């Protein structure tokens, strides 16, 4: 692959990666958020694949396939299943029909959507400012895109802090992890295979546990609003 084409495709993948994180802040429907997360997983796999092709490293290509399967396939599937479980559970013994739309939407984030979009802009600039000294060490196309990874880490944190639905917070956590993985790829062409495997299983397990926890929370309290969990119940 020629250098110019590689740079162009890598830039496109990084742009899509960042854009998916930003649009997560924009949308309210949890289904749409999960779909965006799957798209972001694809972009991340594309970044790994491009780096692997560029540097002729087969292990990176295998990692890319694994990341694609996990982050664009399995994790969104698990979250979606938790979501349908929540909705189905609601419909069974529920008399108030409007609650259904409450459960599948992030209706009232702590920071409203317009402000969180502007915050995302500020966070991106911050990531750019922070990453500049790092980029100057070795300005290749991959390291130039390093701020993208950092920005997604920061945006993931922001989603984690401001969203109040349990599942939206799970997506925030996964965005954070996507950002960390992307940073590792862009800065150092990925971590050793065994570490990557360990992290992936960790994430998978975390999502499984959180999915279970969400359904239990819903069963115990009738909602997945995190705010309702502040007080101790017996």
Partner 1 sequence: MNAVGYAAIALQVGAVVVGAPLLTGLMRQTRARLEGRAGAGVVQPWRDTRKLLRKEPISPVGTGPAFRWAPLLLVATALVLAVLVPLVSTDTPVRGRADLIVVVALLALGTLALALAGLDTGTAFGGMGASREMTIAALVEPTILMAVFALSIPAGSTNLPVIVAGAADQPARLTSPAGLLAIAALAVAVLAESGRLPVDNPSTHLELTMVHEAMVLEYAGPDLALVEFGAQLRLAVLLGLLASLFAPWGIATSGSLVAVLLALLLVVLKVAVLGMALAAAEVFWAKLRLFRVPELLAGSFLLALLAVTASYFLGGE
The binding site for partner 1 (CB under 8 A) comprises: 7-8, 11-12, 14-16, 18-19, 22, 26, 112-115, 117-118, 120-121, 124-125, 128, 131, 135, 139, 141, 144-145, 147-148
Q: Toward partner 1, which CB reaches closer, 118 or 195?
A: 118
Could you please report the per-residue DSSP string of 142-154? HHHTHHHHHHHHH
| Closest-CA residue to 197 (of 188, 205, 186, 208) | 205
Question: Is the torsion defined by CA of 157, 166, 216, 223 positive or negative?
Answer: positive
d(CA 111, CA 168): 14
Q: Toward partner 1, which CB reaches closer, 14 or 174?
A: 14
How near is the Cβ of 7 to partner 1 at its closest, in Å?
8
How near is the Cβ of 16 to partner 1 at its closest, in Å?
8
How near is the Cβ of 14 to partner 1 at its closest, in Å?
6
Run of H or E residues at 30? helix 30-55
How near is the Cβ of 231 to partner 1 at its closest, in Å?
32
CA 126 to chain centre: 19
Q: Toward partner 1, which CB reaches closer, 86 or 182?
A: 182
How near is the Cβ of 124 to partner 1 at its closest, in Å?
6
Say if residue 78 is exposed, middle or buried (CB neighbours under 10 Å; 0-12, 13-18, 19+): middle
Q: Toward partner 1, which CB reaches closer, 26 or 74?
A: 26
Q: Toward partner 1, which CB reaches closer, 18 or 217?
A: 18
Tokens encoding 106: 């992030």
Contact predicate 164/225, CB 8 Å: yes
């Amino acid at each position: 692959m020629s250098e110019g084409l590689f740079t162009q495709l890598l830039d496109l993948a990084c742009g899509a990666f960042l854009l998916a994180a930003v649009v997560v802040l924009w949308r309210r429907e949890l289904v749409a958020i999960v779909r965006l997360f799957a798209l972001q997983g694809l972009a991340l796999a594309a970044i790994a694949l491009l780096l692997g092709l560029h540097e002729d490293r087969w292990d990176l290509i295998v990692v890319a396939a694994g990341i694609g399967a996990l982050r664009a396939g399995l994790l969104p599937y698990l979250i979606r299943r938790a979501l349908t479980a929540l909705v189905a559970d609601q419909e069974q013994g529920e008399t108030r029909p409007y609650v259904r739309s409450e459960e599948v939407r992030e209706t009232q984030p702590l920071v409203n959507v317009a402000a969180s979009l502007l915050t995302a802009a500020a966070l991106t600039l911050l990531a750019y400012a922070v990453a500049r000294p790092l980029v100057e060490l070795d300005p290749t196309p991959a390291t130039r895109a390093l701020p993208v990874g950092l920005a997604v880490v920061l945006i993931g944190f922001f989603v984690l802090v401001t969203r109040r639905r349990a599942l939206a917070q799970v997506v925030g956590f996964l965005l954070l992890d996507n950002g960390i993985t992307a940073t590792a790829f862009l800065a150092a062409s990925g971590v050793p295979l065994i570490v990557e495997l360990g992290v992936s299983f960790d994430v998978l397990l975390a999502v499984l546990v959180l999915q279970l926890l969400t359904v239990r929370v819903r069963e115990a309290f009738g909602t997945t609003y995190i705010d309702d969990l502040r007080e101790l119940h017996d």
